[in-house]
Structures are given as C-alpha cells and as structure tokens.
Amino acid sequence: MTAGESVDLEDLVDKAFELFDRDTADKIANKFYRKGLRQYQRGNYDEARELWRGASRMSHAKAMYGLGILARSQDEADHWWREAAGSGSVDAMYNLGVLRGGEGNYEEGEMWTRMAADAGDADAMHLLGELLHSQGKESEAEQVRRKAATAARGPRAWHEGSGINQGWFFGWKWERSGGNLNARNYAAEMGRKAADLADDVARGNENFGSH
C-alpha cells in the first residue's frame, strides 16, 4: 500500500462520517477491520496497520486493539490500548493492567484490570487477585481468587511478529518488577498466551480482540 493510498483511505473514512449515518459508517469501519484482519492473518502487517488505522478513525475498538498489538514501541501500544479501552475493548483494559502492573504501578494496574474483570474476563480476575495481593489487600484478593477459580480462561491474542514480542515483553516487565508477584510463573504464562495466537489466527478467528 503506497503513501497515496493511505491518504485516500483516511479521506474516505472521514467522508463516511460526512455522507452516511452512524450505522453505515460503522459498517464501513467493520469492512476495513475485516480486510485488515485478513492481511494480518497473511502476515502483511503494514497493510493491516493501514486498514486498521482507517477503522480507528471511526473509533473501532477491535482495530485500535490490533494497532496496539502491531505497535513498534511500548508507548505506541499504550496509546492504542487506551483508545481501544475507551471504546470498550476488554482485552485492551487487561493489557493496560499488565503493563502498569509490570511497571510497579499497582494502583493503575488494578484500575484497568478491575474494569476487565468486572466485564467478566477470567484472565483479568486472576491478575486482579495478584495485584491486590501485591498491595496487601489480602481479604479482597482472596475473594477475587475464589471467583476467578470458577471462571473459564480462554486464549488471548498476542502478536509475535511485531516490534514487541508480547509474551517475552510482558514476562520481562514482570521479572523487572520483582517483589511480591510470582514473576517467573507469570512470564511463562504470557509466553503460552503468545503461542495461543498462532492457533487463533490459523483458524481465521474474527473474534480477535473482541473480548
């Protein structure tokens, strides 16, 4: 995709808002997202990024989550996941909880993780228990752990081909945090989640980033 095509795509997205009602504009954003997902599945990450940027201009949560997965830096991932979380992406909320917790910012990590846990995300419930424990909130941590024990945990998509190898990166952040959290076990878990992506994408799972 050339630079000219990228500009035309953004112009088209902007005109969709001007010419169509919100439902029609959302359908256009979904088409951009699905086309981007197909490019992502083929390993054409630059093309996926351009299409998802177009969809993101219409606040498409899955597209913004995907841009965070394709980010070339932590700051870029943080930006897109904040945008996606603001549009309701539970996966983005969870990822922000992981990032903040890995930096030792347990309060903000708790905030994001709690939002995802309240939306029913089982992985977030498990992480929230750890974050609460790390802050000495043992009574609430135990309550969250009991709830998490009854919740099913599913695969979460990490993109191993981006500038951030998500499994390694999150594991490294937890290793760096040290202290109360079982960082090595968590790092291993994040590595398993990175491997889950290959199966998810191979199946053509259009629920990518939909939690």
| pTM of this structure | 0.70
Per-residue pLDDT at 96: 93
Mean pLDDT of 105-127: 92
Distance spanning both ends of the chain, measured CA to CA: 29
Per-residue pLDDT at 21: 67
Indicate the range of 4-8, 23-27, 207-211 predicted with least confidence.
4-8
Mean pLDDT of 100-121: 91
Mean pLDDT of 91-118: 91
Greater pLDDT, 131 or 158: 131
Per-residue pLDDT at 55: 92
Q: Which of 52-56, 149-153, 187-191 has the highest mean pLDDT?
A: 52-56
Half-sphere exposure of 65 (CA within 13 A, CB side): 25
How confident is the model over 17-41, as pLDDT tens digits? 565 566 787 888 899 999 999 999 8
Per-residue pLDDT at 58: 86
Per-residue pLDDT at 10: 61
pLDDT at 44 over 50: yes
The alpha-helical segments, DSSP class H, found in 42-165 are: 45-56, 61-69, 74-86, 90-102, 106-118, 122-134, 138-149
pLDDT at 159 over 80: no
Look over the chain and give the mean of its residue pLDDT values, rounded to a whole number: 75
Per-residue pLDDT at 20: 59
pLDDT at 57 over 70: yes
Please count the other Cβ atoms lying within 10 Å of the Cβ belonging to residue 185.
11
How confident is the model over 176-204, as pLDDT tens digits? 444 434 444 544 454 444 444 444 444 44
Q: Residue 141 contacts by C-beta under 8 Å, 6 or more apart in sequence?
A: 129, 130, 132, 133
